[in-house]
Amino acid sequence: MNFRLAALAIAVISLVAPAVLAADRPFKGHASGAIVALDPSTGAGVAQYTGQATHLGRFTRIEYFQLDGAGGISGTMAITAANGDQLYLDFDGQFISPTTVVGTYEFTGGTGRFSDATGTADFTAVLDDLGRVEVVFDGSLQY
């Protein structure tokens, strides 16, 4: 009987310990990039950036987005850290002016140290007439 109780305790600890170890870390940064593809008939597009962020260092990122025709934007992104680890996220936003989008990133995992990443960050993106984009973001990341 004691053996079963000990085995159950070990099983519970092994399930809970990773969640406890995933610290809530402040996450912020900025990126500069450009829209490299946009299909006006569907609203689907691709943007590429470089930037700097906590826990990533210098990074590159590729964003696949969809405009909804009512001022909304959503999509997915892969951010590649200086060491090659990738952080994945989904995002949703809304144009608050013809050139400014505000929204939220939701981290969905990645590779390397970000394989179980979770968290959220708010972002603001400003576009110019040539398709260049400046983004700032601030939130928290668990990994």
> Which domains, ranges and CATH numbers included, belong to the chain?
24-142 (2.40.350)
DSSP-derived 3-state class of residue 114? helix
Amino acid in position 90: D
Integer angstrom CA distances of residue 111 from 106, 121, 129 = 16, 19, 35
- Asked if residue 5 has pLDDT above 70, the reply is no
Which secondary-structure segment (H or E) carries 12? helix 2-21
pLDDT of amino acid 4 = 57
Q: Rounded to whole angstroms, how far apart are CA atoms 55 and 29?
A: 10
Which DSSP letter does residue 82 get? T
The predicted model gives 79-89 an average pLDDT of: 97
Average pLDDT over residues 52-57: 96
2, amino acid identity = N
Better-scored residue on pLDDT, 13 or 63: 63
pLDDT of residue 22: 61
Q: What is the pLDDT of residue 21?
A: 53
Q: Is the pLDDT of residue 27 over 60?
A: yes
Is-contact 78 62, C-beta < 8 A? yes
The Cα 17–Cα 13 span in angstroms is 6
DSSP class of residue 1 equals -
Percentage of the chain modeled with pLDDT above 70 = 85
Per-residue pLDDT of 59-71, as tens digits, reads: 999 999 999 999 9
- Residue range 15-29: average pLDDT? 71
Amino acid at 48: Q
pLDDT of residue 23: 78
Residue 111: pLDDT over 90: yes
| 95, pLDDT greater than 80 | yes
**Are 58 and 82 within 8 A, CB to CB?**
yes
